[in-house]
A and B are shown apart, each in its own frame.
Chain A
Amino acid sequence: MRKFIIFSACTLLLAGCTAREVMVTDIVPLNMEIQEVKGSKVIFTMDPANPDAWYTYGLFHESTEAYRMNDAELARLDLKLALQSYEIKKEVEEGFMTSFLDMYCMRGSRTLRATNLAPDTDYRMLVYQVNPKTQEPMVDNIISTTVHTRPVEEKDMDFTIGFDGFLLSIVPSDPERIYYWDFDLSERIYDNYLRPRYYFYSLLDMFDEYNFMDEVYSKGSEVYDLKKDNLIEGAAYTLVTGATVDEEITSPLTLVTFTYSASGIQNIRQYKDDGKEL
């Protein structure tokens, strides 16, 4: 009997913990504050009065029709498109288990970063509460604002990239300008980031988020031993490099693809991110 009581108590405790889902449907002050607007990103904080209230956000480019819609209409469209995308994912992905709210909405205090924005551009920014029961926007609780991303001056900078055995050398045309470089599996860059530019942005954004850019950028020529990394035999890699200022890209990107082999680096191709061969 005693064992049964302990079993029941533990089961209830476990069930109580896993089934905790509060459905907040009353209007909750969302308390959004923009912390910083940069050339390619907006950093803002959310501190809703009730941590269980669901909310989401969207940024809309000045050239789009959405930019000119009214708040309620835009929030409805935004969430409708998200819901459609969710339904498609659910249909095509085997073992799909994420809820719509978990996939597209947020709860609690957060620092959020809207990235991959175009510099010197107006964006309409919408933050709104979501009704978890109907999965529709709560149109009486929308924060709407316009942000203008900072201009970023882009100037030419060339890089001479070579391989001596497994030693990679990078020589920038301007030894005084700072730049950043990194490489990854080509397949991963295109699968995860679509374009090398977004991959590069994501790296700069990571260092920005951790306030660590000053420790990792390069200046002047660099030599790097590829043997330090456990590269995969026969795999293709893409190296991306470009000048940076304040974690923004300030030159056209130079790309180098190569195949790693224990006998040496092969299939080297160097080009700009507009596809122009070098």
Chain B
Amino acid sequence: MSSERPPVPFVVLAAIGVAFVVMPLVGLLSRAPWQTAVGDLGTPEAATALRLSIVVSLAATALALGLGVPLAWVYARVAFPGRDIVRALTTLPMILPPVVGGVALLFAFGRRGLFGPALDAIGIRLPFTTAGAILAATFVAMPFLVLTVEAGLRSMDRRYEDAARTLGAGRWLVFRRVTLPLIAPSVFAGAVLCWARALGEFGATITFAGNLPGTTQTLPLAVYIALETRPEVAIMLSLVLLAVALAILVVMRDRFLRAL
């Protein structure tokens, strides 16, 4: 720690930076209708959105785990030609404007999309269904999991895998009994980040899955709609999302609270 006095312009700009982030949060808290909080959250549309959000975000996380952990393993362990390009493509949804993701999903899996009719033929309809909302959330959230797990795989001591193999374990058993437990912290961190992103998903969901209460209207969508009609409900739902974010910050403090 340096004890030298920091330059004044830096301190001033840093303070403005903090205020810029904190002021909206203070604004939200100051307008919270604490007296009617329970009633506001208990309204049918709020409760429905809350329940749906939990289902969608957990399902998206499960889907991302099922596909993303093997994908991260392949990225970390298999040197195939074009790996960097494929990895860039699967990371794209992380930085792509979500609404663009939604449009892209629509033209891929929508009724008139490239693969839509084929899916329709086998009885799978995605747009404007809960499955569609899950797909949209997975699309934007999975890269967080893949990148985190890949980093974990790359930093683990691979000699443990060698040791397991000399003890008679085949590659699948090594993965299950040695690799996975050793990268468990990374898988957990990736899953939490992925879940948080899925929970907050708005743009891709509303574009691809629409805004149907009970089917695709998740918390962020409900907040947006309620702002017009019942702002106190919007505030309370926002506070729920804020509380979740804070809880994640606490759980993942090693990742976020310590300087890199």
Do A and B pair up? The answer is no
B interface with A by C-beta (< 8 Å) = none
Tell me the A residues contacting B by CB distance below 8 Å.
none
